[in-house]
């Protein structure tokens, strides 16, 4: 039996994770659920956005299904107590280092894509982004140059162990998809990228069934817009992945449809929609639960090793949307519950 921690959080978080849990329960998979507050909801209940009980549940669980955190009521709190700190704390405590962001255009939703209609339907890619290293975590500071100028600096650094473990996540993901991995770097100018490329090539020896290619990040940004269908899985560092994954989301369009995963080395993970708590529509039953439902599918695929069950959920979501089920973000009037029902009906 697998334990799944449900951390609904704030705003529309409880509404969308509720639908995702209903979908998981319908699969008959011997799952056990435990729920705990996080974010503003936890601050209200326990005085901290990530209370010890919530953290210990997340640690005990095989995987975490997370809603969203963020509550305008707490915007003026001390930084360490703001709802957003909860997700940073979970990433740190659970040692999550690999962020997976799929981006695809669902049949019938092509016009929500920022891409030209001829190419929009072709986007179906997964970005695997390293999240514990790179310029965000290197030595940094401000100093004064010999010429008396203020200078800011952030060291970009990756060691071979860090690169090898994210490369493996990329290869594994490609193996479960269309078998193509594109490693994105800037090896023509960066030492970090030279090492990155060497280590990815070394790791490829264990994955003869995956086709590996390399691309400079500037070209990758261009190609994603020009002909996105060429990409299956992209593996890249923290900085490039940050930018490319937001670009990919816009290429796909609908914020209410896109899930994400962040994994640790032991296969545990935290699964959440890419959207936030959407305070403007919270409590109205209008949020699109598909991103949370698809996050639950990723949870089955990556932490519980149940790819068939994950496929079933994804196929059901695609069918519900293709049949015309539309929440407000997709230009319709269906409720959160109605969308959840439509997915359940097609499972
Ligand atoms: P955060 O800082 O937490 O990422 P944000 O301010 O960037 O939050 P979101 O909370 O993602 O933004 O909301 C952005 C817009 O998208 C809002 O207008 C919100 O109503 C809408 N939105 C977000 N998620 C959904 C959803 N699941 N269904 C419908 N609309 C959504
Ligand atoms: Mg945001």
pLDDT, tens digit, 9 for 90 and up, residues 289-335: 999 999 999 999 999 999 999 999 999 999 999 999 999 999 999 99
Domain range list for the chain = 1-97+259-347, 110-253
Please determine, for residue 336, whether its predicted confidence score (pLDDT) is greater than 90: yes
CA-closest residue to ligand 1 atom 9: 276
Report the distance separating Cα 58 and Cα 72, nearest Å. Answer: 25
From the CA atom positions of the chain, what is the Rg in Å? 20
Distance 75 CA to ligand 1 centre (A): 16
According to the model, what pLDDT value does residue 117 have?
Answer: 86
Query: Domain 1-97+259-347, CATH 3.40.718.10 — does that match?
Result: yes
Ligand 1: does its nearest atom lie under 6 Å from the Cβ of 255?
Answer: yes
Question: Could you tell me the pTM of the whole model?
Answer: 0.94
What's the confidence (pLDDT) of residue 289? 98
Phi, psi of 97 (to 5 degrees): -130, -10
CA 32/CA 27 separation, integer angstroms:
12
**pLDDT tens-place string over residues 172-200:** 999 999 999 999 999 999 999 999 999 99
Indicate if 111 belongs to the active site.
no
pLDDT for the residue numbered 254: 86
Same fold flag, 1-97+259-347 and 110-253: yes
Q: What is the pLDDT of residue 44?
A: 94
Q: Is residue 209 packed enough to be buried (19+ CB in 10 Å), middle (13-18) or exposed (0-12)?
A: exposed
Band of residue 80 on the pLDDT scale cut at 50, 70, 90:
confident
DSSP secondary structure, 193-249, as one string:
HHHHHHHHHHHGGG-TTSEEEEEEHHHHHHHHHH-GGG-SEEEE-HHHHHHHHHHHH
Residue 282 Cβ inside 6 Å of ligand 1? The answer reads no
Q: Whole-angstrom Cα distance, residue 215 to residue 238?
A: 16
| Active-site residue, selected from the candidate residues 134, 186, 232, 268 | 186
Structure-token pair, residue 156: 């970009």
Closest-approaching ligand to the CA atom of 276: 1
Of residues 188 and 254, which shows the higher confidence score?
188
pLDDT tens digit sequence for 107-117: 999 999 999 98
276-293: pLDDT as tens digits = 999 999 999 999 999 999
Give me the CATH code for the 110-253 domain, please: 3.40.718.10
Q: Whose CA is nearest to atom 8 of ligand 1?
A: 276
Q: How much is the pLDDT for 250?
A: 92
Looking at residue 328, its pLDDT comes to 95
Q: Is 17 near ligand 1, meaning CB less than 6 Å away?
A: no
User: Burial level of 22, CB count in 10 A (0-12/13-18/19+)?
Assistant: middle
Return the pLDDT at 76.
86
158: annotated active-site residue: no
From the list 10, 232, 242, 329, the catalytic residue is 242
Mean pLDDT confidence for 10-19: 98
pLDDT attached to residue 38: 98
**Residue 167 tokens, joined:** 């490369």
Q: What digits encode the pLDDT tens for the residues 45-69?
A: 999 999 999 999 999 999 999 999 9
């Amino acid at each position: 039996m697998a334990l799944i921690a449900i951390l609904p959080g704030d705003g529309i978080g409880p509404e969308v994770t509720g639908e995702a849990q209903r979908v998981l329960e319908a699969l008959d998979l011997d799952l056990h659920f435990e729920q705990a507050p996080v974010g503003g909801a936890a601050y209200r209940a326990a005085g901290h956005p990530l209370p010890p009980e919530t953290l210990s549940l997340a640690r005990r669980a095989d995987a975490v299904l997370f809603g969203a955190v963020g509550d305008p009521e707490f915007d003026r709190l001390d930084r360490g107590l703001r709802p957003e700190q909860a997700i940073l704390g979970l990433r740190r405590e659970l040692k999550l280092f690999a962020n997976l962001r799929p981006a695809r255009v669902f049949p019938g939703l092509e016009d929500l894509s920022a891409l030209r209609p001829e190419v929009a339907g072709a986007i179906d890619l997964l970005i695997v982004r390293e999240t514990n290293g790179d310029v965000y975590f290197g030595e940094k500071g401000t100093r004064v140059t010999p010429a008396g100028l203020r200078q800011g600096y952030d060291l970009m650094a990756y060691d071979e162990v860090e690169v090898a473990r994210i490369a493996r996540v990329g290869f594994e993901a490609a193996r479960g998809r269309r078998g193509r991995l594109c490693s994105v770097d800037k090896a023509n100018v960066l030492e970090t990228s030279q090492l990155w490329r060497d280590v990815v090539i070394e790791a490829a020896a264990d994955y003869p069934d995956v086709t590996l290619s390399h691309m400079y990040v500037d070209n990758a940004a261009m190609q994603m817009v020009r002909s996105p269908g060429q990409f299956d899985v992209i593996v890249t560092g923290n900085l490039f992945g940050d930018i490319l994954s937001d670009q990919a989301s816009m290429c796909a369009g609908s914020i209410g449809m896109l899930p994400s995963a962040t994994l640790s080395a032991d296969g545990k993970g935290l699964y959440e929609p890419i959207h936030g708590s959407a305070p403007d529509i919270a409590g109205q039953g209008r949020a699109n639960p598909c991103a949370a439902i698809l996050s639950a599918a990723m949870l089955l695929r990556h932490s519980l090793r149940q790819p068939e069950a994950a496929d079933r959920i994804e196929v059901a979501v695609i069918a519900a949307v293709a049949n015309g089920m539309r929440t407000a973000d997709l230009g319709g009037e269906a409720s959160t519950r109605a969308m959840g029902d439509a997915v359940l009906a097609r499972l």
